[in-house]
Amino acid sequence: MVNDTSSSRGIVAASSRSIASPVRRCTRRAALVRVSSCLLDRPARADGIAVPIRLQAELLCKVASYDRNFEARTGERVRTLLLMKQGDPESSRAAAEMRSALSSIPTIGTLPHEEELAIFSNAPNLTEMCRSRKASILYLAPGFSEQVETLREAIGALSLLSVGSLAEYVPNGIVLGFDLVSGRSKLLINLTQARRQHIEFRAEILRLTRVYE
């Protein structure tokens, strides 16, 4: 089931809201304005990636902080695994480009961060890698269209944010993705999988997304 919440009011926050300080509310409001500005007209790439990698990085760094469990899950530093498919040049290129893009952004949310390139070998290895590296974000480069459901089950109920470079990943179980709709960038969220992975997005960011349930 798909809900485009930019035109629908059917989505509500999953839990009761805590009382935020005026300063934090202002900071989040300013961040929301920046997210909205990023969703302006953008050219599509010819390699299947609808939204440019650098813009994906900008959006990821802003959207991550709208998860109510973000700071509790990440601790003092955000650790991101950039997963690429072995022997796939496009996949390797995209993962390296995302690493470069993230390295130029000081914080994810309000926290410092580090990124690591990783090659997918099998599902059990991915599960162990996410746990041992204490990853709070898993980014999937292109090349996994036929394996998204396997990857979804591999990360299971781990508390992390899965992010797809390709829009088609999201309906099949990746939490966050990006698409180009009528020439404009659009956030995609799989809300069912988000809940499974202990991601609790605030209502204000859900209003800017296309939601899959």
Nearest to 58 by CA among 102, 116, 13, 5: 102
Average pLDDT, the chain: 85
What is the b/e burial string over 172-189, where b = at least 16 CB atoms within 10 angstroms of the residue's CB?
bbbbbbbbbeeeebbbbb
Residue 1 lies in a domain: no
Evaluate whether 184 touches 194 at the Cβ level (below 8 Å): no
| Domain residue limits at 69 | 19-212
Decide if 6 is inside a domain. Answer: no
How many alpha carbons fall within 13 Å on the CB side of residue 132? 8
pLDDT digits (tens, 9 = 90+) for 120-158: 999 999 999 999 999 999 999 999 999 999 999 999 889
Q: Residue 147: inside a domain, yes or no?
A: yes
pLDDT given at position 35: 56
What's the rounded mean pLDDT across residues 18-40? 49
Please count the structural domains in the chain.
1
What is the CATH number for 203?
3.40.50.2300
Q: How confident is the model over 13-23, as a mean pLDDT? A: 39
Q: Is residue 10 part of a domain?
A: no
Q: Is residue 46 part of a domain?
A: yes
With 0-12 CB in 10 A as exposed, 13-18 as middle and 19+ as buried, what is 72? exposed
| Residue 131: half-sphere exposure toward Cβ, Cα within 13 Å | 11
Residue 3: inside a domain? no
